[in-house]
Amino acid sequence: MAERGRPPFQWTEEIEYRIFGLLVTGKSINSILGENREEGLPGPDTFYKRLANDKDFADKYARVSEIREKVIFEEILNIADTPQIGKVETLKEWGVEVKTADMIEHRRLQVDARKWILGKMAPKKYGEKLELAGDQNSPLTIAVKQYAGNLDPK
């Protein structure tokens, strides 16, 4: 008896290029292939199955991910260097005070989020390093103690 259900998704080179092209712009798989995906694109589950089972596809994805890291890094520089002017409204006892200023807090959040993402995408390259070291006058030492007692629990 033949199986019922949807036919398997038909991958084409054009579909790969569309997905990888959107990934390079910094979009996530969920935003590209989620609920509101473009017509003709697979769902995330289909994408991840292909990623797990097709080495050539996985290699292409790895190269795209490296480019995406560079794009996100450039975004950080752009956000940090470009003021974003906005309005801040504050309710006062006499009414609403409106100030026009650079949205520094918003830009800081954008930069911090991208730094965190880069640290997760490429921890060796962008992650925080944890180094344990003593100072020059008091270096760290490792002491090993041997137990001289009887280890037999009886």
In a domain, 91, yes or no: yes
**Contact of 67 with 123, CB cutoff 8 Å:** no
Asked if residue 84 belongs to a domain, the reply is yes
Which H/E stretch holds residue 100? strand 95-102
Query: 102-119, pLDDT tens digit by residue?
Result: 999 999 999 999 999 999
Q: Is residue 28 part of a domain?
A: yes
Which tokens belong to 131?
Answer: 């180094």
CATH code of the domain containing 19: 1.10.10.60
Q: Is residue 134 part of a domain?
A: no
Report the candidate in 12, 9, 67, 14 with the shortest Cα–Cα distance to residue 42.
9
Q: What is the pLDDT of residue 1?
A: 52
How high is the pLDDT of residue 148? 66
Q: What is the mean pLDDT of residues 71-95?
A: 92
Distance between CA atoms of 76 and 140, rounded to whole angstroms? 37
Residue 103 lies in a domain: yes
With a threshold of 0.85, does the pTM exceed it? Answer: no
Identify whether 154 is part of a domain: no
Q: What is the count of structural domains for the chain?
A: 1
Residue 1 lies in a domain: no
68, 23 in Cβ contact below 8 A?
yes
Is 36 part of any domain?
Answer: yes
Give the model's pLDDT for residue 153. 63
Q: How far apart are CA 53 and CA 42, in angstroms?
A: 16
Residue 140 is predicted with a pLDDT of 72
Tokens 């969920």 belong to 30
Question: Which residue range is the domain that position 83 belongs to?
Answer: 13-126
The overall longest dimension of the chain from CA atoms, in Å, is 82
Residue-averaged pLDDT of the chain: 86
